[in-house]
Amino acid sequence: MVWSYFSALRRMCYQVEDHSSDGYKKEDAALCVITAVTVVEVFLNVYFRILISEKPYRHAEEKIQNDLKRQVSLDRKLKEWPEEVFGKKINFGSGTGQRFMELKNLRNGLVHFSSTWETTEMPGVSIHGLADTSAFESLGGHSAVQALKTAEEFLAEVFRMRGIKEADIPGALHSWTGLPPGLQS
């Protein structure tokens, strides 16, 4: 499932820049951002479910299984699971962790946009409430590929936390995302 979602995301992302319309670029980039965050959550669900069946990580089995059963939030998974399983926290204040949180926040701005309840009236027109579309307006052709890269980098960070050697990260990324090692940046 993770491989398939990454494959679809990769196709969508690389098609965004081919659009001649900035409007189409924004629309498709928005879907890429939403999908990139979703595929990371799917990865976390599958990867940690597999990890807890391995001897070094069985100590976290009950918590991860309960969280999966209750479908806890992505924030909770991000903040609790690596520490529970690996004994390490993801640094969300800089680097890959920070970039992923920015991507997640952008996704939230696209999905959970805010709305005002004010009324604006002009002759012949009355508008009741406005939606904040600044997250959508911030998107461009580069947004899609950057979302993909951020998702891939986040998986690599999880692999590092597990103790996978740097030389083996490209293989792990290929196994989980389908990204051939020669195309990794």
* pLDDT for 181: 80
3-state DSSP: the chain helix, strand, coil percent, rounded to 5? 70, 5, 25
* pLDDT for 159: 98
Q: Where is pLDDT greater, at 18 or 73?
A: 73
Does pLDDT of 28 surpass 90?
A: yes
Please state, for a pLDDT cut of 90, what percent of the chain lies above it. 73
Q: Do 129 and 113 contact (CB within 8 A), yes or no?
A: no
Residue 163 CB coordination number (10 Å): 10
* pLDDT for 2: 95
What average pLDDT score do residues 32-59 get? Answer: 97
* pLDDT for 102: 97
Q: What single-letter DSSP state applies at residue 126?
A: E
Residue 110 token pair:
């696209």
Nearest to 132 by CA among 147, 154, 152, 110: 110
* pLDDT for 116: 65
**Alpha-carbon span 69 to 64, nearest angstrom:** 8
What average pLDDT score do residues 25-39 get? Answer: 95
The residues, ordered by sequence, that sit 6+ positions from 132 with a Cβ below 8 Å of its Cβ are 109, 113, 114, 115, 116
Q: Where is pLDDT greater, at 125 or 166?
A: 166
* pLDDT for 185: 56
